[in-house]
Amino acid sequence: MQIKQIMEYLNAEVVCGEANLETEVHSAFGADMMSDVLAFVKDQSVLLTGLTNPQVIRTAEMVDMKCIVFVRGKQPDHTMIDLAIKKGIVLLKTTLRMYPACGILYMNGLEAGGTV
């Protein structure tokens, strides 16, 4: 699916990266522990998280994520937004909690992706 479809499914707002909303993504990973993202992400290109600090963007960049969805209404700060713009990562935010956000995307065909 395209990132803009994620926006529709989750009633999410774009924080930054409008130009890349048509990027195709196939699988996602949900976590608040960045250690787990680094340990378990293989080919997933969307990260759902409720954690907001600059290391979320860096972690996502290290594992080649294309989009980060902040759940539970979390708002990334300017440092994070600047970093995401620099790295070409789309940031979205939704008021949904982690479980329904992941569930909705999964039901609509965004897969869990490979495991390491």
Partner 1 sequence: MSGIKLSYRVDGDNFSSAGEASEQVKMRLKQLGVDSSIIRRVAIAMYEAEINMVIHAKGGMAYVEVEPDRIVLSLQDEGPGIADIELAMKEGYSTAPDTIRALGFGAGMGLPNMKKYTDEMKITSEVGKGTTVDMIIYLSAK
- Residues near partner 1 (CB under 8 A): 32-36, 38-39, 49, 51, 53-56, 58-59, 61-64, 79, 116
Q: For partner 1, which is the closer residue by CB, 8 or 36? A: 36
| Shortest distance (Å) from residue 107 CB to partner 1 | 27
What element of type H or E holds 43? none
User: Exposure of 107 by Cβ count < 10 A (0-12 exposed, 13-18 middle, 19+ buried)?
Assistant: exposed
Cβ distance to partner 1 smaller for residue 39 or 108: 39
Tokens describing residue 10: 């989750």
Q: CB of 28: closest distance to partner 1 in angstroms?
A: 17
- Residue closer to partner 1, measured from CB, 75 or 79: 79
Going along 1-116, which residue ranges are E strands? Answer: 13-16, 28-30, 46-49, 67-70, 90-93
